[in-house]
């Protein structure tokens, strides 16, 4: 009997399905709050996949560029779907948050070779910077 392995591909498909539930509730089928609850599971899965991608990618710059391109391409449809306006600065799609998290992970990884006190300050600084952004 073959053992089932949960790969990053499976996690990605699951997260997209959970996110779709959330978006369907928000746009098409109102009144089903349970769909939002299911949809909220997607973000931690995507965040995990971003962190794993950061450590396993061969070219972090290309990885970040692809994520940036995805964030840019999806921003206008996201705004049109939720706000009915192509531009809205107060609410962006979650890909921007994932991109910021990826940048903060990268800064923390670059800081590992410094003195311990400097590493602590950089790590605390990235938490505040990430939260601010």
**Which residues in the chain show pLDDT less than 70?**
1-2
Rounded Cα distance between 12 and 10, Å, is: 5
Overall pTM > 0.95:
no
Looking at residue 2, its pLDDT comes to: 66
What DSSP string runs through 63-82?
Answer: HHHHHHHHHHHHHHHHHHHH
**Distance (Å) of CA 108 to CA 5, 29, 129:** 30, 42, 12
pLDDT tens digits, one per residue of 52-74: 999 999 999 999 999 999 999 99
Q: How far apart are CA 108 and CA 102, in angstroms?
A: 10
pLDDT for 27: 75
pLDDT value for 1: 60
> Which residues have a Cβ under 8 Å from the Cβ of 128 and sit 6 or more positions away?
none
Residue 81 pLDDT: 79
């Amino acid at each position: 009997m073959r053992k089932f392995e949960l790969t990053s591909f499976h996690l990605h498909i699951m997260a997209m399905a959970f996110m779709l539930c959330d978006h369907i509730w928000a746009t098409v089928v109102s009144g089903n709050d349970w769909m939002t609850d299911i949809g909220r599971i997607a973000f931690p899965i995507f965040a995990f996949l971003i962190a794993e991608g950061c450590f396993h990618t061969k070219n972090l710059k290309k990885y970040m560029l692809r994520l940036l391109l995805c964030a840019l391409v999806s921003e206008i449809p996201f705004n049109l779907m939720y706000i009915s306006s192509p531009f809205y600065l107060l609410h962006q799609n979650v890909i921007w948050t994932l991109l910021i998290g990826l940048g903060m992970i990268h800064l923390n990884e670059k800081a590992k070779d410094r003195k311990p006190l400097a590493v602590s300050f950089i790590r605390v600084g990235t938490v505040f910077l990430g939260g601010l952004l």
